[in-house]
Amino acid sequence: MSDQASIMRLSGLGLFLCLLPALAWADGAVVDKLYHPYVDAMETELEYRSLFQERQDNLTTPAQIHQFSIGRSIGERFFSEFYVVGTKDRSGDFDVEALEAELKWQITEQGEYAADWGMLFEYENELGKDIQEVTAGLLSEREFGRWSGTANLRLIYEWGGDINNEFESVLALQARYRRSPGFEPGIEFYSGQNTLGMGPVIQGTLSTGIRKKLHWETGVIFGMDHKSADTSVRFLLEYEF
């Protein structure tokens, strides 16, 4: 095993072990997009994703979350993206709630090691409130024949005058069967303080021209304990060109 491979494995294991104590008390909107540790050079992306979630016990979580973004690759290893986040509360009012900047880093070449690795960095600023958030996430993916397994492990820090300063973490896992580019069924698992859930997802990618693709995802996540929403429905649509 090369020194670089040893460092990658030890770094990933170390980060996972450091975050294990935090996995029991993460909060926030846990059900979301799973990130793959890959970057396509010279790619631009328009993305819309949404989350429709039932009320959780003793929480005022929004009924809907909508995110719009534009992203662009930076060389062969980095991808930057900028989001506008809107929410619809239980009374039906819609507000633009936050702005977010995101950077994904593809650390290893696809197939270079047993698993492919990347990292995700995010900064979010809530509008009209003194709340800010930074995130560092570890992304990993491995193929098993026609199956792909993806893991996202994120450490989050929130601070500001309108929130208690705290660390959080989120664990998200996905296994999907690559039946065809246009149809890939799978299952996802999410863990956070107020969410423990699992459910089926389907996704696909359609070619619309040279270096142009339309990617879609949808899934239903079912709560696995009394704190979790009974159902969370997520949807994603990306246009890549």
What is the maximum alpha-carbon separation in the chain? 58
Cα(98)–Cα(124) distance, integer angstroms: 7
pTM here is 0.85
Contacts of 95 (CB under 8 A, 6+ apart): 86, 87, 89
Model pLDDT for residues 97-139, shown as the tens digit of each residue? 999 999 999 999 999 999 999 999 999 999 999 999 999 999 9
CATH number of 3-240: 2.40.160.40
Model pLDDT for residues 141-174, shown as the tens digit of each residue? 999 999 999 999 999 999 999 999 999 999 999 9
Task: Categorize the per-residue pLDDT at 60 as very low, low, confident or very high, splitting at 50, 70 and 90.
Answer: low
Element (H or E) spanning 5, and its range? helix 3-19
User: Within a 10 A sphere around the Cβ of 20, how many other Cβ atoms?
Assistant: 11
Could you tell me if 27 and 194 are in contact, meaning their C-beta atoms sit under 8 angstroms apart? Answer: yes
Model pLDDT for residues 169-227, shown as the tens digit of each residue? 999 999 999 999 999 999 999 998 788 999 999 999 999 999 999 999 999 999 999 88
Domains of the chain by residue range: 3-240
